[in-house]
Amino acid sequence: MKPKNHFVALFATLTASLGITFSVQAQPEWDERLYNPSPLEDDVILPMPCGGAMAFRQIHVPVSKPLEDFPVQIGQDGTGWGYVEHSRPAFISGSFTSEDGEASRYYLLAKYELTELQYEALVGKECPPLSNRKRFPQVALSWFDAMQLSDAYNLWLREHASKMLPREDGSLGFLRLPTEVEWEFAARGGLEVSTAEYRDSRYPMPEGLNAYEWFSGAQSSNGRLQLAGLLAPNPLGLHDVLGNATEMIFEPFRLNKLDRQHGQAGGFVVRGGSYLTPREDLRGALRGEEPYYGSDEHNRGRATGLRLALVAPTLTSRERIAAIEESWASLGLDEEEIDGSPGTVVQLAELASDVEDRALQEQLQTLERQLRASNQRQQEARNQAIRASLNLGAFLCTKLEDDGVFFDFLADNYRLNCEGDEPDASCDMRQARLAEQKKRLEGLSRYYASSLVESATLYGREPITQQVEVFSEILSRNPKVSELRPYLQTYWQHQRQYLNDQHITAEAWLESCKAMATQ
């Protein structure tokens, strides 16, 4: 997906070459402040009717294959709304393959809540007059209004700007409301934040809540809807993701039953709170239910708006289906045993196929599926543990660098001041500090080597190799920890060396980490 400048230029070329006579011709292109008041270089811009546009942000997920997904937690404990918001495991993946060989997939989420001007351009019979006053989020929308306007936008794009839509495996992307997991993963900051920051009640707000979100009270919204994009964005570049207008979600509301959702599907989900939400209630886990219908018409909450997602179909071609089938067939299989014999799952499947008793065969097949699912959960937990060990290894390499460089500094000072003809009066103190730092460095070096060897022995080359790629992608998306990437590669180089020759070369590993200071 190309950034904004590419799309603006392409749109101008398309409208000129195709001779479009739709309402896009009736007005000049909107000033950028009307649809993207806080532009970023990597914004993705799609055109709209009436010369309008909508800004999107790419939300990356560290997976590279269609059947892969990434484990996350959604919800939050201790809010007093456990049956609605209790923390539970979920999984997310992206719709589109990243460019330039990046080990991630992505979906897109609108940078701002849908505004009055954009709404009128999509569903109005005539183009609306251009005004900054129409930059308020469009509220009092029903879920069916959201379906209607997203359908209108999809059809307009396919007719007038299909070349500007991202494609996956040749299939055009399309717009819809986000799912709960898509919304919450992005609202919490996605890969741009650490695990601890992701699990906090709100994404990081260094300048305080008032600088980022509108909420109820005289110190913020003062009970009034505010223009979209006035405040600072979340770490992914999304504005007003909490507060201002509450945002509709694609799927129906379900209660939370500890680690799963309850079986009854109710009304539609709304997320994030609004300008009417008290300050203390504004959080990433905030969710509620709205009925589809009022007493005699569609339900339209006075603070209910929306933010569109841009995604792609899943089963896009025969080749994609074949690749998914191949991945599915390998899910939850045991590792081959040392002697090369088939694993337990394969043996169980073969046993089931040879049984003539239909009831017994179904029982064996059920057992096989349960075993595969259990193996899959164990493999996913193993992958998370590997990423944690890689994180530790990269961090320890930075500590070896710092402590090693400091030891060399102390040693140089000791030689300069204490090994000449006239030793300094502080030499005893300097020698003690040098000995103390040497002991600390030796202990850290042993810990680094032990962690490296234990991880290599426990997990093996292939699983670690796969997770190095995933964890490197995670680091690259978070500016706060992206500097760890070269240390990760150094740690992985040391681990590969150990896997190759089974030799622990702690001193060489120390020198390698120390050398990072000069790179």
31/135 Cα distance (integer angstroms):
12
> Mean pLDDT over all residues of the chain?
92
Q: Are 55 and 44 in contact (CB under 8 A)?
A: yes
- Half-sphere exposure (Cβ direction) of 490: Cα atoms closer than 13 Å: 27
* Domain ranges across the chain: 4-311, 378-518
381-409 confidence digits (pLDDT tens)? 999 999 999 999 999 999 999 999 999 99
One DSSP character per residue, 425-449 reads TTHHHHHHHHHHHHHHHHHHHHHHH
CATH architecture of residue range(s) 4-311: Alpha-Beta Complex (3.90)
Q: Which residue, chain included where needed, has tokens 């709209």?
A: 48
Residue 26: phi and psi, rounded to 5, are: -75, -20
pLDDT tens track for 134-192: 999 999 999 999 999 999 999 999 999 999 999 999 999 999 999 999 999 999 999 99
From residue 157, how far is each of 12, 122, 338, 469, 488 by CA, in Å? 14, 11, 56, 35, 43
pLDDT of residue 22: 36
C-alpha distance from residue 201 to each of 12, 53, 73, 373, 427 (Å): 43, 32, 12, 31, 52
Band (65; pLDDT cuts 50, 70, 90): confident
Contact, 271 vs 109, CB < 8 A?
no
Instruction: State residue 3's pLDDT score.
Output: 54
> Residue 42: its pLDDT value, please?
95
Q: For residue 9, how many C-alpha atoms fall within 13 Å in the half-sphere facing its CB?
A: 5
Average confidence (pLDDT) over 456-464: 96
pLDDT bracket for residue 201 (50, 70, 90): very high
Our CA dihedral for 197, 200, 206, 211, rounded to 10 degrees, sits at 130
The mean pLDDT value for 96-123 works out to: 94
- pLDDT tier, 11 (very low <50, low <70, confident <90, very high otherwise): very low
Q: Specify the range with the lowest mean pLDDT, choosing from 291-295, 324-328, 422-426.
A: 422-426
Tell me what percent of the residues of the chain surpass a pLDDT of 70. 93
> In the predicted model, is pLDDT for residue 275 greater than 90?
yes
Residues 35, 41, 44, 47: what is their CA dihedral angle, to the nearest 10 degrees? 40
pLDDT at 16 over 60: no
**Statement: residue 370 has pLDDT above 60:** yes
Q: Is the pLDDT of residue 13 over 60?
A: no
What number is the average pLDDT over the span 259-282?
A: 96
Confidence of residue 336 (pLDDT cuts 50, 70, 90): low
pLDDT confidence band for 341 (50 / 70 / 90) = low
| Under 8 Å between Cβ of 271 and 247 | yes
12 pLDDT higher than 50: no
pLDDT at 4: 53
Q: In the predicted model, what is the mean pLDDT of residues 315-338?
A: 85
Residue 422: per-residue pLDDT: 80
pLDDT for 8: 46
pLDDT tens digits for range 86-98 = 999 999 999 999 9
CA gap 415, 47 in Å, rounded: 68
* Cα 313 to the center of its chain, rounded Å: 19
Q: Are strands 167-168 and 88-92 parallel, antiparallel or unpaired?
A: unpaired
Which residues make beta-bridge pairs with 248?
Answer: 270
- The answer on pLDDT for 518 being more than 90 is no
* Matching residue, tokens 């590792």: 335
Burial label, 470 (beta-carbon count in 10 A; 0-12, 13-18, 19+): buried
Helix pair angle (358-418, 485-501), 10° resolution: 110
Domain 378-518 has CATH 1.10.3470: no
Token pair belonging to 48: 């709209």
**330 vs 349: CA distance, rounded Å:** 13
